[in-house]
Structure 1
Amino acid sequence: MRFVRRQLWWVAACTGIACASAGARRFYVSSELPSQDGIKSLTVAPGPWPEIPAVLTHAMSVPDDLVIPTLQALFELPGAIDTCDASTGRPRPEASEYCVAIYRTPSDWRVSWPVRNTVKSGGSCQPPFGGVDDADYGKDLPVFGYAHNHPCASDVSNQDLSTWPLAKSEGAWVVVAYGTTPGGRLARDERGQVIPAWGWLATGHRNAPRFYKWNQEGAVFRWDGTKKHWNFQARCKPSPPSMLRPEGVPPDCSAALHP
């Protein structure tokens, strides 16, 4: 049955607006996806993304062997990097953000298909807040956070710091900064402790990419590709909006994220 489900996803993946020249789809847009409870923002993304191999591990935390290839792959999608006007710094029409969900099945760690949004001033992609429909294991799998790109090389934003998985609790959808299924079942480690969710960002330029991750407490880390290690950069919190800067203000950070 799992094989049949995966074959059906592959058939669906080769149709629609996002097919590459080789005939293989690489992403979806929100309007193509189903949603939870008829709420448009609670889209459900298919999984796994065929471009990212699943990672087999008993580790309870999200493996870097899954995250780093995912961030690198986001840069290879159309309009994902270096797509801003050099004179104004604003996104060109083809500039795009892509969001993926990082999730776990009973046997491995996987990534959902990317959900695309063309970028406008202050815009961003819409993560699949409704969860994932995996080709092998179906729905209600725990999501541990979202990864996305910034096409104009900007750092972590206020919205990034506030974007976490959602779960349904007592009939309402609530933000949960832990690994959780859409149905509200929290992921736990071998000691029974809940597992924190993370956010991840691919930004920078093709010849100088920057990868970040952060947690609910606002601790932001940057990936060191040479040492294969996350280095602490700063502690950040969202800044209040400003009428003087409608494009948005940067987060309030204890140190510069990109010196």
Structure 2
Amino acid sequence: MLAPDAEMARGPWSEVPSVVMPAGDASIPIGLLRDVAEAMLKLPGAKTCDAGTRRPIVGLSTEYCSTVYVAGSRDSLSWRVAEPIRGSHEACKPFFVVKDDDFPSSQVWVVGYVHNHPCAGAPSSQDLGVWPTDVLKPFVSMAEVRLIPGNPVPALFKNSAIEMASALVAERQDGTRLFLRYFPTGEVQQWSDVRARWVTLGICAPRSARPPFRSVAPECRTGGLRLLRD
């Protein structure tokens, strides 16, 4: 069920199981990314587009937003996703306050939000401003987690702060998906099924936009990033 028009999101979304904070990784886990992308892309209109133009269809194509958060105590945290908010064919406005059915507000920390791109379209210009675009050329963007910058009270897990990272789910033409994380410190990681862990592809630094103030892809230390092939 989609969240009603209100001032806060409701969670957790029953379609996306909560993921207990995994040992050895204090950032957004692969399990949550897989589950939320799968659930979001099944919503009505989430992948609807004009077959000829590959553009969203006004009134049919739909972008959705879900708030991403962690909840619990310092010794037991879980990653969660709130019920989705329905937007238009080209945008949605997420809530940044969550009412969780299992925890009081003092034990809920909002991390960011995830949104889809109808027609499996490429990331918007604003999205491209934080992602190394060269790794996406052979792919189409499916769902993206955007961070809320400057979270004043980061969640703690066993005395360590949650490591914030944006995340992107991209899909090949054959339907297989890849998962990327991008940290504010510059590390870009890809999930490897073969190695069963996140692998760092490189370190990329953001660059300031220049006139006419279009988004500029980050500059990577080793040039273009190479995706894993496994």
Shorter-chain TM-score: which interval?
Answer: 0.5 to 0.7
CA–CA distance in 1 between the matches of 2:191 and 2:170? 12
- Report the RMSD for the aligned CA atoms in angstroms: 3.4
Aligned pair 1:54/2:18, yes or no? yes
SS at 2:65's partner residue?
A: strand
The structure richer in strand per residue is 2
CA–CA distance in 1 between the matches of 2:45 and 2:209? 29
Q: Decide whether the 8 Å contact of 2:27 with 2:165 is kept in 1.
A: no
Aligned pair 1:85/2:50, yes or no? yes
Query: How far does residue 249 in structure 1 lie from its aligned partner after superposition?
Result: 5.4
Cα 1:155/1:223, change in 2 over 3 Å = farther
Structure 2 residue runs of 5 or longer lacking an equivalent are 132-145
CA deviation profile, 1:102-142 (whole Å, cap 9, x unmatched): 2222243322112222233xxx33232x2211012132411
Q: Which amino acid letter does the alignment assign opposite residue 80 of structure 2?
A: R
Instruction: Pick the aligned partner of 2:209 from 230, 240, 243.
Output: 240
Q: Decide whether the 8 Å contact of 2:71 with 2:103 is kept in 1.
A: yes
What percent of counterpart residues are identical? 30
Q: Which amino acid letter does the alignment assign opposite residue 182 of structure 2?
A: W
Aligned pair 1:185/2:153, yes or no? yes
Which residue pairs with 1:64 in the alignment?
Answer: 30
Query: How far does residue 216 in structure 1 lie from its aligned partner after superposition?
Result: 1.9
Query: How far does residue 231 in structure 1 lie from its aligned partner after superposition?
Result: 4.1
Structure 1 residue runs of 5 or longer lacking an equivalent are 1-24, 35-43, 166-174
Instruction: Write the mapping of 1:1-259 to structure 2, written as runs, cut at 5 A.
Output: 25=1, 27-28=2-3, 32-34=5-7, 44-57=8-21, 59=23, 60-81=26-47, 83-93=48-58, 94-106=60-72, 107=76, 108-120=78-90, 124-128=91-95, 130-140=96-106, 141-160=108-127, 161=130, 163-165=146-148, 175-176=149-150, 180=151, 184-190=152-158, 192-204=159-171, 207-225=175-193, 227-233=195-201, 235=204, 237=206, 240=209, 251-252=217-218, 254=220, 255=224
- TM norm structure 2: 0.67
- TM norm structure 1: 0.61
CA–CA distance in 1 between the matches of 2:111 and 2:37? 15
CA–CA distance in 2 between the matches of 1:220 and 1:110? 23
CA–CA distance in 1 between the matches of 2:197 and 2:22? 20
Cα 1:45/1:118, change in 2 over 3 Å = same
SS at 1:28's partner residue?
A: coil
Query: How far does residue 155 in structure 1 lie from its aligned partner after superposition?
Result: 4.3
CA–CA distance in 2 between the matches of 1:96 and 1:257? 32
Cα 1:250/1:97, change in 2 over 3 Å = farther
CA–CA distance in 2 between the matches of 1:214 and 1:187? 19
SS at 2:19's partner residue?
A: coil
Q: Decide whether the 8 Å contact of 2:190 with 2:227 is kept in 1.
A: no
Cα 1:251/1:239, change in 2 over 3 Å = farther
Query: How far does residue 78 in structure 1 lie from its aligned partner after superposition?
Result: 1.7
